[in-house]
Amino acid sequence: MAVHATAAACVLATMTGLAGMALAVLVLALGAVSARERALLRGSRSPRAIAIPASGAAMVILASGETVAVRAVRGLGVTRHWVALGPVSPIGRAVLVTSGMLGPANMRILRLWALWGRIPGVASRPLPV
């Protein structure tokens, strides 16, 4: 919201008249809508939960009830402090889970899944005989 407020102030400083004021109000309104939808997680497409079944395919459950398949982002996407989850399909949003969002045990399980592709306690398929 602060970035949008600063942008609105810059518009007011550089543009004069009614057009400048209208654009500044629109930029500020865009910031408010963006904060409500994304930062405050009040939109219907806001993530509510992460489900990792025994198959190992993770899904993000949205506020609307729909699920989106996600995968772990490799490289700097997995650290002690966060796990980045990207959409499996080309269309979709990424989700960043920070250590303060989950308890220590659940964050550890998510990090292990992101690094190894499975959760602890789930054995891999037995080898064919």
**Average pLDDT across the chain, whole number:** 87
Q: What is the pLDDT of residues 32-75, one digit of tens each?
A: 988 877 777 777 888 889 998 878 889 999 989 999 999 999 88
Sequence ranges of the domains in the chain = 2-39, 47-116
Q: 123 pLDDT band (50/70/90 cuts)?
A: low
For residue 127, the model assigns a pLDDT of 66
CA atoms of 90 and 27, how far apart (whole Å): 29
Looking at residue 119, its pLDDT comes to 78
Integer Cα distance of 51 and 59 in angstroms: 5
The H-or-E segment that residue 71 falls in is strand 67-72
Beta-bridged to residue 83, according to DSSP, are: 78, 97
- Say if residue 97's pLDDT is above 80: yes
User: Measured between alpha carbons, how far is 126 from 3 in angstroms, rounded to an integer?
Assistant: 53
CA atoms within 13 A on the CB side of 32: 7
Q: How far is Cα 102 from Cα 116, in angstroms, rounded to an integer?
A: 19
Note the pTM of the prediction, 2 decimals.
0.65
What pLDDT shows up at residue 125? 67
User: Which region among 22-36, 50-64, 96-110, 115-129 has the lowest average model confidence (pLDDT)?
Assistant: 115-129
Residue that wins the pLDDT comparison between 97 and 37: 97
Give dist(CA 43, CA 62) in Å, integer. Answer: 9
63-68, Cβ contacts within 8 angstroms, sequence gap of 24 or more? 68/92
Rounded to an integer, what distance in angstroms lies between the CA atom of residue 53 and that of residue 59? 9
